[in-house]
Homo-oligomer: A and B are copies of this chain.
C-alpha cells in the first residue's frame, strides 16, 4: 500500500502521515524499488489507533504513551486507564469552561438592541 492509499483508508493525508513519521509516531516503513513508502496491515492498524486517539482529543505525547503501552500486551492496563482517565477529567474541565463561556456569549448577544455601536451591549460587556 502506498502512502496515498493509507491516507484514504484512515481519513488522513500523505503529508500528515509523513509528519507522524518525522516526529516518531510512526516508524519508517520499507520502501519499494522506486523509493515509495510501502505500508502493510500493521502500519494501517497503528495509524488507525493514532487517528482515533487524536480524534478523541489525546495529545501526540499521550498517543505516544498509549502506543508504547499497546505494544506490550502482557503489561497491566492501569497505565492506559490512568492516561484515559486524566484525559477525561481534562475534557470535563474544558466542557465546564465552554458552557460558562457559552452562557456569557448568549447573554451578550441577547442583550444587544441592534442600535448604534455607541450603546451596544456587546461592546460594553467586552469592555468590562
Contacts and interface: CB of A to CB of B under 8 A. Distances in A.
Interface of A: 45, 48-49, 52-53, 55-57, 66, 69-70, 72-78, 80-81, 84-85, 87-88, 91-92, 94-95, 98-99, 101-102, 104-106, 108-109, 112-118, 120, 122-123, 125-128
Contact of A95 (B45, B76, B99, B117): B99
B74 A123 contact: no
Given A98-B95, A109-B84, A117 B72 contact: yes
Main secondary structure of the interface of A (DSSP, over half): helix
Given A52-B127, A77-B113, A80-B112, 20 more contacts: A49-B128, A52-B128, A56-B126, A69-B117, A70-B123, A70-B127, A72-B117, A73-B118, A76-B115, A77-B115, A77-B117, A77-B122, A78-B114, A80-B120, A80-B123, A81-B109, A84-B112, A91-B101, A95-B95, A98-B98
